[in-house]
Structure 1
Amino acid sequence: MKYTAFIADDEVRSRELLQNLLEELCPELTVTGTAATVDEAVKSIHQLQPQILFLDIEMHPGTGFDILQKLSPSASAQVIFTTAYDQYAIRALRISAVDYLLKPIDVQELQSAVQKAIRQINNKQPQQQLQHLLQNLVKQQQDYTISLSTSEGLEFIPIASVLHLEANGAYTVFYLKENRKIMVSKNLKEYESILADHGFFRVHNSHLINLKEVKRYLKTDGGYVVMNDDTSISISPRKKEELLQLLSGRAL
């Protein structure tokens, strides 16, 4: 079965390279169109109705996010963003669990992203994370929500409601306010990097804490913190000094 794709990128070489990679490595895709500007992309996507969109983030003028905002909520395509390293953009994508490819594009990551998009098309799964992404882009950082994939579906949780996280093998348990918890099928290391810019710190191999939710730090028993839900969490000796610096710099 053939699936249709569309590429939006303001650089000719980038468009041609991605199209060539797709033709060579993903024969199940047919690229039905490309565009160099936001307006051109929006017009063509409305006309062609492709199933998978490859949107460059740093288009000039405008961004791939602008394309998405102009298409939403009518667009039903699966979206894969492409970008050179852009810290702000990547943080937003990762928090919202939206697929992206870093330039230069890795062949295996491209094939994996395409296969994931095809599975979602076949399962008729809407890419709910896109609306979540758009909402985060217009919020203040303290109001961000994070997309969590659970056994029952997707949950969009305010980051400010997360007290701490605990590793459970290949899974991660989120401990939330109001005595809730959610288990997610990703490891703690992944969330360590996603949440680092939101005031979270890994105090132990098994624990990542929200620094704003620390109630007390105690020196006894090797050092531990008490969180606002009264959970006691031990501190790794090599993390103690950095943690104390972060806590001493926290606004009270």
Structure 2
Amino acid sequence: MLSVLIVDDEKLARDRISFLLKDETEINICGESNNGLQAIKDIQHYKPDLVFLDVQMPEKNGFEVLQEIDPDEMPTIIFVTAYDKYALDAFEVCAIDYLLKPFDDERFFRALRKAQESTIKTANTQDLEKLIARTISGNNYYDRISIKKDGRIYFVETSEIVLIKASGKYVSLHTNSETHMLRKAISLVEQKLNPKKFMRIHRSTIININKIREMQHWHKGEYVLLMSNEEKVFSSSNYKENIQKLF
């Protein structure tokens, strides 16, 4: 059963999606939100598998909503909006699809099926990873990470990774010259990285300690770090104990 949250400030838009889902036996609508702040609360409370998310809303827009959600608890996202100018931004946060209003029933169900297939694959992958984690040694860390792209499998040596950022249900692996996308929760990646070499400094950021070029105090236990690939990343006060280990 797939739990679904509908987020839109227009009641007619919420009602339309609800109507289209009413005959879906494998769908449970867990709630509806009519503004960004309520959406954050409902996502954190209901922990839905899928969210139909409007972009322009009162309080916070759809992208600001996602910034407040823990990457490890990020649901599958289908953006629903009347504006096509947000499409690129939507896919940069790894939304599974982007429905442009007005959309017809066929387009809606195509997006829904894509989300259902994606959620099933993610659940199966996570179950397998948990099984592997229970059966292998706890210090069996990654030496390299496999990346599937364009029908091929590429391997990235962990020693080449500068930092890792969470983006929805994906993480991006940043080296000095490239960025690779991996469909995996950041917490699962963190478990398989050597803690002597990698450190979580933010709920959405892991860094390679050996790739730090410079760091400066920023604000109340927070730091800005310049990495070897010239990217700047910010630590969170929630991870200040990790940062203090660098001193």
TM-score in terms of structure 1 length:
0.47
Higher Rg of the two aligned structures: 1
Q: Say which structure, 1 or 2, has more relative contact order (CA 8 Å, 6+ apart).
A: 2
TM-score in terms of structure 2 length:
0.48
